[in-house]
Structure 1
Amino acid sequence: MEGQPDVKPRNQDQMDRNREHAEDEWKSWQRGQVRNTLHLVSAAAQWILLLACLIYLGIGSLQPSTPRSDRVPWTHIRYTGKSIKGAAVNLTAEVGSIQIRNGSIMITCDGLYLLSLKGNIFFHGPKEEDLLNLTLWKTDNKTSRALWEQTVWVSGDAVNLTIVLYLFAQDNITLGTSSNATIADLSFSIVLLSPFICSL
């Protein structure tokens, strides 16, 4: 009879342990279910995205193919020569479909353009002239404003620009310097990324 009181606490401890074990298993099962649901949702989203890409590619392949130069306005310029203070650099296109007139790049389509410009500047002014501004200008029917400007401190310094800009049809893009200089190994590219209104 003396041993019986110990049986109840032992049974109670055993039941508590069993209950805790069952609760742990239940929580673990619930976490597994949540994880499985997340995996399922992620897989479904990936399949939907893949299907959308395939549909997009399929529609694109059904359209008649056009040479890239006809579809996307672009130009690439290589230039080495003199620039005169206050005058546009006399750029001419090496390749591309965007026209250049009197050194101005003629924009014919509204949209986002990627511009890339690299080169070196050599001063022609007196020795005390220790800096020069290279400026990319945008001119429309009414106004002219600077799109980008880099100050060159030392003769022979490299200039480097990569930028995305929204340009409008009828805009003209020119390049100029604040002093007489020589521009060497200039590489200047412009390409339309997203056309909105195009009158090619």
Structure 2
Amino acid sequence: MEGNTVTVCDCRDLHKKNNCRNRLLFISAVIQWMLMIVCIACIAIIFHSTDTEKKKIETYVQTIQKKTFVSAEIEPDTYNIGKLNLKQRSGNLNVTNGSVIIAADGLYLVHLEGYLRDKNNNNTVTVWKWNEEENKTLLMTESINGHCIRTVLVKELMQKDKIYIEKERPDLFSNFSLFVYGIDLKC
């Protein structure tokens, strides 16, 4: 009989141990599910914020396209050394005396693009900013080795600044354009 009592006690202890283990397994399973839900929520937040950033970038691009810009090209009769005479192709910024006139203070994206007639020749193109207080200030200098040039610069410009281009050698360009876009960051 004593053996039976011991066996009954062992079964009760075993049952308690199983209950304890089952509770621990249940609690750990609940914690794992909660962590998985938190991870899924974090991933959703990351994807949502990425979409928000994409929307902000698209808004900036649309703002650039809608607001202040000019597309200017070089007149064919000015392919000589020195200042290139720009003429307005499109946009609402003025081009006067071969220079782009900035209408308002702010950040501007300046994009320079051109092609050389002869791939073997080199040329240096300089974009200048001129205003009454500072006179002539360098915006960018590009040395062209090869067939084409494409350069982008973001710069803070002031009202009535004049942007113009100079080159080192004559008659090398087959097509050359300057694009100036005003960037409005108050979206």
| TM-score, structure 1 normalization | 0.66
> Does the 8 A contact of 1:80 with 1:184 survive in 2?
no
Considering only aligned residues, what root-mean-square deviation do their CA atoms show, in Å? 3.5
Secondary structure in 2 aligned to 1:17? helix
**Gaps in structure 2 of 5+ consecutive residues:** 56-62
Deviation at 1:31, TM superposition (A): 4.6
Shift in alpha-carbon separation, 1:133–1:7, aligned structure 2, 3 A: farther
Residue number in structure 1 paired with 2:68: 73
129, 134, 150: which one aligns with 1:138? 129
Secondary structure in 2 aligned to 1:174? strand
Indicate the structure with greater helix content. 2
Aligned-partner Cα distance in 1 for 2:39–2:111: 47
Deviation at 1:151, TM superposition (A): 0.9
Shift in alpha-carbon separation, 1:13–1:148, aligned structure 2, 3 A: farther
Shift in alpha-carbon separation, 1:14–1:163, aligned structure 2, 3 A: farther
Note the 1:1-200 alignment, pairs <5 A.
Answer: 1-33=2-34, 35=37, 39=41, 72-79=67-74, 81=76, 82-85=78-81, 87-122=82-117, 131-141=122-132, 142-154=134-146, 157-194=147-184
Shift in alpha-carbon separation, 1:8–1:140, aligned structure 2, 3 A: farther
> Does the 8 A contact of 2:109 with 2:182 survive in 1?
yes
Task: State the identity %.
Answer: 15
Residue number in structure 2 paired with 1:59: none
Deviation at 1:110, TM superposition (A): 1.0
How many residue pairs align between the two structures?
165
Shift in alpha-carbon separation, 1:89–1:37, aligned structure 2, 3 A: closer
Deviation at 1:147, TM superposition (A): 1.5
> Does the 8 A contact of 1:80 with 1:185 survive in 2?
no
Secondary structure in 2 aligned to 1:181? coil
Secondary structure in 1 aligned to 2:125? strand
| TM-score, structure 2 normalization | 0.69
**Gaps in structure 1 of 5+ consecutive residues:** 54-67
